[in-house]
Amino acid sequence: MNKTVNINLAGIFFHIDEDAYLKLQRYLEAIKRSFTDSQGRSEIIADIEARISELFSERVQNDKQVIGLKEVDEIIAIMGQPEDYLVDDEIFEDEPKVNYKQKSSPSRRLFRDTENSYIGGVSSGLGHYFGIDAIWIRLAWILLIFGAGTGILLYILLWILVPEAKTTAEKLIMTGEPVNISNIEKKIKDGFDTVTDTVGDVAKNVSDSVSNAAKNVDVKKHANSIKSSSRTFFDTLADVIMFFFKVIAKFIGVILIIVGATTIIALIIGLFSLGIADIVHIPGLDMVEIANAGNTPLWLVSLLVFFTAGIPFFFLFYLGLKILINNLKSIGNIAKFTLLGLWLMSIIALIVVGIRQASEHAFEESHITKTELAITATDTLIVKMVNDDKFNRNFYRHNNLKVAHDAEGNKLIYSADIDIIVKSTTDSVASIAIEKSADGRNYERAIERAKNIDYNFSFNNNTLFLDSFFSTDPVNKFSDQDINITLYLPEDMVVFFNNNTKSFLNYRKYDGNIVSSKTTSHYLKILENNSECLDCPIEEKTIKVDTPGLKINDDGIEIHADETHVKIDRSGVKAEAEDVKVKIDSNGIEIKAEE
Amino acid sequence: MKIENTKAQMRKGVLEFCILSVLKDQDAYVAEILETLKDAKLLVVEGTIYPLLTRLKNAGLLNYRWEESTSGPPRKYYGLTETGKLFLKELDTTWNELQNAVNIVTAKKNTTNE
């Protein structure tokens, strides 16, 4: 019993057995492949089909008769094998082809020959490509491996990059044989034989089943499936390596997703809370508003930051997803380019904001007020810092601008960026110069902001009280405000700096400061461009000498010379000369002289 | 060098000329052309003729018309064009010369051998 199919051959209807049908189909397919389009393939095939149809019609007596393998074989015998269809181009070409020589040795392409492989089939593939035996290539590899291992790297690279010759056509191209039907069929038969040979007993069962199956199904497929059952060790190794690569790739994907997602979530939270803060006024966040000298709306800046930072992380996240999920649906080019555009725009906008912000510091201007102090050179001036519980509690100079509220609850910017410089003067009275400086986009703005700095000092009872901080209204923003105090003191005046001025005095000695922070809490006499400490303890000086013959250190003095030796230390005095020895110690004096 | 290949080459070389000759006096469809050629033992299998016919037609030496058939699909009736006729005439001359030449050469060989 046989299954039949219905076919339409050149417009005529036929019943045909399934196996016969498959044979006929293969036959027509083979013929088709032996022609090119330029030869008028479709027309030739149509003619052949018409002829076969005619031949079938002659053999079919009635409508019920089925065409079987016998009829198909007869037809093939009449029509001829695919080779018979080949027309020798040289004979029939009107003009002899110039590139005929090339045709006889068709161009080859590099493939990996996994049929004749030891590892990945790279060597045999190269062998085919260069037309030499693969053994020479293999020897070259071994030499290259000894040559600093470059061979291994190159081999792996080729293994990855060079495609495997999978189809019969590719195998033919690899070996440089022309791809035509007879070669293809020959190759398939060859391949089939090789496999059944090499696999031996194991394949015996398989080949039995194959020979059965081959009747029904494409021979090529089965040849391949047997091949896959005879995989080499290196194929398995390659699979293992690939597996690890995949695991690593997935791991990277997971990391990318986590990093991308957390960053985006953090950014969204940040954006949201900033937006809320703008409305609700969370105390600490005023800082941001005041620091923003360029007066760009806060929400805009935060949105720009969100896009600039968020979009790359979104793409990371997306990449991670793509690695994990193979058939992930693309977000689409429109979405991608929109995001890219948004990102670039955000960056540009941020740069503009940044430039605006920077330009706020383009001009630094200062405003100086000088006040005379009612004190003469004969008096002693005491300088003290005054602190405020709110602003600068610690008498410590720092140059940060901070925000606080004053007693009335008004917001204030304050800082302790105050430098004290002391200079001598020939005037009879002392004076104090307060220099306030600030930055601004232009001169007017800078000077305005400088003037707006609020700084106080007071003088009574020969004592100068200096605030240890200054403040300004928040509308002036953070614009590098600072205070320089210059004290001009008459020569011969005695001045006493309270210890709490220490941190404010220590700076800018190159400006001609004549008082060092080391001399606070002492009475200083002002000299011409210098000062003298009146009650400083005399500095202990230690001399250490260590040269051949002379040694002076904490232990004492030791002198070595020709025939003489003097040593003074904790234990006493010891002197030795050529003829006399003197020793003074806890035992008394001992003198030894030689007769 | 295989004898089959050489034989096939020889046959194929004159095939084009023979096809044109068959169509010299009357139009014919493929089966008729094949019959003549097969009878003359010029052709073993039919397959060879199809690419040749297409080639000759594409070269403008042949044209064809469709005719209904009672026993099968419609048939292509081939006929010579004017160029085809001229072409055939020239081939005829060449063939005669060639035949002559081959005869002389082979005859000479035979005599020298004997």
Give tens-digit pLDDT for A53-91: 888 888 887 777 888 888 888 888 888 887 777 665 544
Does the distance separating the beta carbons of B76 and A51 come in below 8 Å? no
A51 and A106 together in one domain: no
DSSP, collapsed to helix, strand or coil, labels residue B41 as coil
Q: Which residue has 């080499």 as its token pair?
A: A232
Please check the confidence at residue A392 and state whether its pLDDT lies above 80: no
A355 and A396 together in one domain: no
Give me the number of domains chain A comprises: 5
A369 and A499 together in one domain: yes
CB atoms closer than 10 angstroms to residue A269: 10
**Domain that includes residue A572, residue range:** 545-593
A425 and A301 together in one domain: no
Domain stops at, among A60, A86, A112: A86
A529 and A424 together in one domain: yes
Strand partners, A298: none
Per-residue confidence (pLDDT) for residue A86, from 0 to 100: 67
Cα distances (Å, whole numbers) of residue A298 to A104, A148, A277: 77, 60, 10
CB contact at 8 A, A40 and B53? no
pLDDT band at A14 (very low <50, low <70, confident <90, very high): confident
pLDDT band at A506 (very low <50, low <70, confident <90, very high): low
Report yes or no on A95 lying in a domain: no
A323 vs B26: which has the higher pLDDT:
B26
* H-state helical runs in B1-114: 3-22, 30-39, 49-58, 82-113
Ranges A30-39, A52-61, A95-104, B86-95: which has the least confidence: A95-104
Strand partners, A581: A576, A592
pLDDT band at A266 (very low <50, low <70, confident <90, very high): confident
B45, B51, B74: residue with CB nearest A87:
B51
**Which of B9, B15, B17, B50 is the best residue to mutate to test the A interface, defined by the most A CB atoms within 10 Å of its own CB?**
B50
Closest residue by Cα to residue B46 from A78, A82, A48, A26: A78
Minimum distance, in Å, between the CA of residue B69 and any CA atom of chain A: 10
For A216-241, give the DSSP string: HS-HHHHHHHHHHHT--HHHHHHHHH
A248 and A333 together in one domain: yes
Give the number of beta-carbon pairs within 8 Å between A and B.
Answer: 86
Report yes or no on A538 lying in a domain: no
**Does the pTM of the predicted model rise above 0.80?**
no
Does the distance separating the beta carbons of A43 and B9 come in below 8 Å? no
Could you tell me the end-to-end alpha-carbon distance of chain A, in angstroms, rounded to an integer? 149
pLDDT band at A192 (very low <50, low <70, confident <90, very high): low
A367 and A355 together in one domain: no
ipTM of the complex: 0.81
Per-residue confidence (pLDDT) for residue A90, from 0 to 100: 44
Ranges A57-61, A102-106, A576-580: which has the least confidence: A102-106
Q: Which helix (H) or strand (E) holds A573?
A: strand A572-576
Minimum distance, in Å, between the CA of residue B112 and any CA atom of chain A: 31
Domain stops at, among A86, A118, A142: A86
A476 and A383 together in one domain: yes
DSSP, collapsed to helix, strand or coil, labels residue A186 as helix
Domain stops at, among A313, A340, A359: A359
A135 and A120 together in one domain: yes
Average pLDDT for A535-547: 73
Please check the confidence at residue A198 and state whether its pLDDT lies above 70: no
Look at strands A556-561 and A550-553 and give their pairing.
antiparallel
| Surface of A (83-122) touching B: CB under 8 A | 84-85, 87-88, 91-92, 94
Look up the CATH architecture of domain B3-113: Orthogonal Bundle (1.10)
Residues of A in contact with B73 (CB under 8 A): 9-12, 50, 53-54, 57
Domain ranges of chain B: 3-113
A298 and A314 together in one domain: yes
A146 and A200 together in one domain: yes
Q: Which range has highest mean pLDDT (A65-79, A183-197, A324-338)?
A: A65-79
Ranges A208-212, A420-424, A541-545: which has the least confidence: A208-212
Per-residue confidence (pLDDT) for residue A148, from 0 to 100: 59
Report yes or no on A433 lying in a domain: yes
pLDDT band at A285 (very low <50, low <70, confident <90, very high): low
Report yes or no on A93 lying in a domain: no
What count of residues does chain B have?
Answer: 114
Report yes or no on A33 lying in a domain: yes
Q: Which range has highest mean pLDDT (A27-31, A104-108, A386-390)?
A: A27-31
Please check the confidence at residue A204 and state whether its pLDDT lies above 70: no
Report yes or no on A111 lying in a domain: yes
A507 and A371 together in one domain: yes
Report yes or no on A508 lying in a domain: yes
Closest chain B CA to residue A11:
B73
Per-residue confidence (pLDDT) for residue A98, from 0 to 100: 39
Report yes or no on A581 lying in a domain: yes
Q: Is A262 on the interface with B (CB under 8 A)?
A: no
